[in-house]
Amino acid sequence: MDYKSSGVDIDAGHEVVRRIKGLARSTFTPGVLSEIGSFGGLFRLAPGEFADPVMVASADGVGTKLKVAFLANRHDTVGEDLVNHCVNDILVQGARPLFFLDYLATGRLAPDVAEQIVAGIARGCRDNGCALLGGETAEMPGFYAEGEYDLAGFIVGAVDRARIVNGATLEPGDALVGLPSTGLHTNGYSLARRIVFERLGLKVDSVLPGTGTTVADALLAVHRSYLRAIEPLLAGPGLVRGLAHITGGGITDNLPRIFPAGVGARIDRRAWEVPALFQFLGEAGQVPVGDMYRSFNMGIGLIVACRAADAARVVTLLEGQGEAPRVIGELVSGERAVSYVP
């Protein structure tokens, strides 16, 4: 017996590394001091780049959105989803991404699929000015179903200590400005898949009612990054008082994560039009409204909290970045929770 007969193809692993080296190198920034294939990645902060640098790190996955990618045999977007999700998670603390690492695990390594996945990761890194510093590709026979894989990402960024955004100064009366999402992003897929594939029996190439797109196109729409839109706001001292990335748990569970004690939020559901995809899922699945706002982002992917007097300026700056922001609510006194009107 040998390792290959037990299900691990070392040569396939080397082939994947050969294919992705160029992709990773295309993301390198001046701070990268190592090559892909080293035991660890080396990164140097440029002297003077930050006055008092604080490192910010996060890790996440793509969740069961991967199941849709398997069904559609489309693997070139989930890597971009992963990077953008992680970028947003550190952005809400004011951090700029520095470098990213990925973990790809599968039962049998398919170099073509791995290359598509990493191409998406590299594209996401380039778009966010973030270096793909390294990663791990694990072949684990008997652990994953044929043709399936799991994907996780790890990001490190930095922010000047004086510019950390943590919601500590939030107070009743502050305004909440919502930025649109590009679909489900990377959350709510277990419920969405059950509605679309199990209850309705649709296929990935079926047209999703009310959306004008196929199931695959609607459900695999890339989780967007908000870095470029938010950067001009962070440049203005004190303009942004809090930021919330609306992921698993929706607005209901994510927004209170940035509130100090004694502060809650009131959201006006009439302030934006819920995209057709969410309306369809709610109606087809007969999902209670409360569950919809805890399972999905409902068309709002990021929320900016600012002083009410600064709301117009925040909206103008975001519009200047090509965004379509909406003032969707305000902070109120009371329990650290979200209430909705109507």
Amino acid at 100: F
Q: Work out whether strand 96-106 and strand 131-139 pair parallel, antiparallel, or are unpaired.
A: parallel
Mean pLDDT of the chain: 96
Q: Please, which pLDDT band fits residue 293 given cuts at 50, 70 and 90?
A: very high
pTM for this model (two decimals)? 0.96
What residue ranges of the chain are covered by domains with CATH 3.30.1330.10? 4-163
User: What is the CATH T-level fold of the domain 4-163, as seen in this structure?
Assistant: 60s Ribosomal Protein L30; Chain: A; (3.30.1330)
Residue 79 has pLDDT above 90, yes or no: yes
pLDDT of residue 9: 86
Residue 22: per-residue pLDDT: 95
Work out the average pLDDT over 70-78.
97
Yes or no: domain 175-341 corresponds to CATH 1.10.472.50? no
Q: How confident is the model at residue 37 (pLDDT cuts 50, 70, 90)?
A: confident
Supply the pLDDT for residue 114: 96
- Give me the percent of the chain exceeding a pLDDT of 70: 100
Distance CA 77, CA 140 (A): 23
Crossing angle between the packed helical segments 10-25 and 111-127, to the nearest 10 degrees: 20
Predicted local distance difference test score (pLDDT) of residue 237: 80
Q: In what order do the strands lie in the sheet with 53-61?
A: 53-61, 149-160, 96-106, 131-139
State pLDDT tens for residues 257-271. 999 999 999 999 999
**Residue 284 pLDDT > 80, yes or no?**
yes
| Amino acid identity, position 50 | F
Q: What is the rounded average pLDDT of the residues 154-181? A: 97
Residues 51, 74 contacting (CB under 8 angstroms): no
**What pLDDT sits at residue 1?**
78
pLDDT at position 193, please?
A: 98
Residue intervals of the chain classified under CATH 3.90.650.10 are 175-341
Alpha-carbon distance of 287 to 276, in angstroms, equals 15
